[in-house]
Amino acid sequence: MSRQQLVAGIDVGSTKIATVVAAIGTEEEEKIKILGVASVLSRGVRKGQIVNIEEVSAGVVASVEAAERMAGYSLTKAMVAIGGPHLASQNSKGVVAVAEPEGEISPADVERVIEAARAVSLPSSREIIHVLPRSFTVDGQEGVKDPVGMSGVRLEVETHLVTGASTAMRNLTKCVSEVGADVQNLVASGMASAEAVLTETEKELGVVLLDIGGGVTNIVVFVEGSPFYTTVLPIGAKNVTNDLAIGLRLSLEAAEKIKLALGKKPKVPKVPSKEEAKEDSDEIELSDLGIEEETRTVSRKTLIEGIIKPRLDEVFTMVSLEVKKSGAMGLTPAGVVITGGGAQTVGIMETAKKILAMPVRIGSPVGVVGLIDDVQTPDFATAIGLILWGSKGETTAPSTGFSFGQIGKTLQKIPGRGMAGRLVELLKSFLP
């Protein structure tokens, strides 16, 4: 693959393990082309956390190998999503004196002030996953997005830190290593999904991203273009499946079929014939959904109003409390964007609008070409977000309202791992 770079994303979720392989185009053709996609049933993951490392490793191997076969390439490294209630966030500030008070602020100054913001007290059991610059202050001038090239003496930064449990991070890395690929970077699942489904306008206005997976719900609140609050709720679409299984006294597999069938978009309406009128009635034949062991009918209204809606009410009530807790109430006029597999649950938009009292839309991944029919659904948001994140070549968010400007673009082209490594190589180029 001359002049093109491969990037891969692995999303280890509670319901599925998805792998996406893509090629990043040249500077002349800056397109990200999906080459391979694979998804296998996830076993050994509960509430977003690994509980059986052997089962997860086997699932990762199966998913990656299938994606490799489709793409025709072998992976050596991958961006990997990490989730679970162990994730937490906080906003931190850093302050440094500019190295050359009479000169311009350099990328090295920016790197130092971001490192200063990392200096927070954390338990030994936790590690920093992301340090995302939100805004800079130069000699008291607030709201600076790119300080490089500006004159100043004192440089401050406000960052958004995302932390995770060290053991969870090591376990996930170990599972991926079983396939022979290195972990290029760990990315919080919600951050990856946000990159795939949110628009820059939504981020600038302020928006709440909800990634509803099988076992957890990732929440990322954006204010003024940057992440402001990140958390994970231990509740997801599997709870709806469990409720259906208990309420109807069916297996989890049968309940999942019912949930998916109810969530499918209706076809273009037409005048039904007498034979078709039965299909539009409130009654659902379970045998028609592939549940061969059941011959009874159930009421669609009872399923939605009596079983599914109460659980959705609980989910969005918890989300509302988290948004209030974040201090972002009134700061997200762009509303709520729901993605993840749970976004396809019947009645989810109506329930979200009612409880959150904000505009709501369903978010599907954008920004890629190629095998898009396989990935342009909400349940692939995290995997595609990993691809977009990895295409930027950075360990921090590719669009957090922060850029290194022209110098940053030069640094991007220098080979090496991390911004610090690129800075060293850039400085060497000026030496005799």
Q: Over range 249-258, report the average pLDDT.
A: 90
Q: Which amino acid belongs to residue 272?
A: P
pTM for the structure as a whole: 0.86
162: closest CA among 95, 218, 236, 99? 218
Q: Which amino acid belongs to residue 265?
A: K
Residue 429 and residue 295: Cα distance in Å, rounded? 75
Mean pLDDT of the chain: 86
pLDDT grade for 26, boundaries at 50, 70 and 90: low
Burial code (b: 16+ CB inside 10 Å, e: under 16) for 162-192 equals bbbbeebbebbeebbeebebebbbbbbbbbb
Domain that holds residue 298: 237-307
Greater confidence (275 vs 45) lies with 45
Kindly report, residue by residue over 258-310, the tens digit of the pLDDT.
999 888 765 445 555 555 554 556 788 887 777 876 768 888 899 999 999 99
pLDDT grade for 28, boundaries at 50, 70 and 90: very low
Select from 141, 166, 191 the last residue of a domain: 166
Any domain includes 107: yes
Any domain includes 43: no
Instruction: Return the SS3 of 187.
Output: strand
Any domain includes 244: yes
Any domain includes 178: no
Select from 104, 137, 166 the last residue of a domain: 166
Residue 87 and residue 229: Cα distance in Å, rounded? 11
pLDDT score recorded for residue 283: 84
Residue 251 has pLDDT above 70, yes or no: yes
pLDDT score recorded for residue 108: 93
217: closest CA among 185, 256, 189? 189
Kindly report, residue by residue over 322-334, the tens digit of the pLDDT.
999 999 999 999 9
Any domain includes 60: no
Any domain includes 248: yes
Q: How many domains does the chain fold into?
A: 2
DSSP class per residue in 293-343: T---EEEHHIIIIIIIHHHHHHHHHHHHHHHHHHT-TTS-TT-EEEESGGG
Select from 166, 181, 207 the last residue of a domain: 166
Any domain includes 371: no
Q: Over range 26-37, report the average pLDDT.
A: 76
Residue 53 has pLDDT above 70, yes or no: yes
Residue 103 has pLDDT above 90, yes or no: no
Residue 422 and residue 419: Cα distance in Å, rounded? 5
CATH number of the domain to which 136 belongs? 3.30.1490.110
Residue 400 has pLDDT above 60, yes or no: no
pLDDT score recorded for residue 391: 87
Any domain includes 360: no
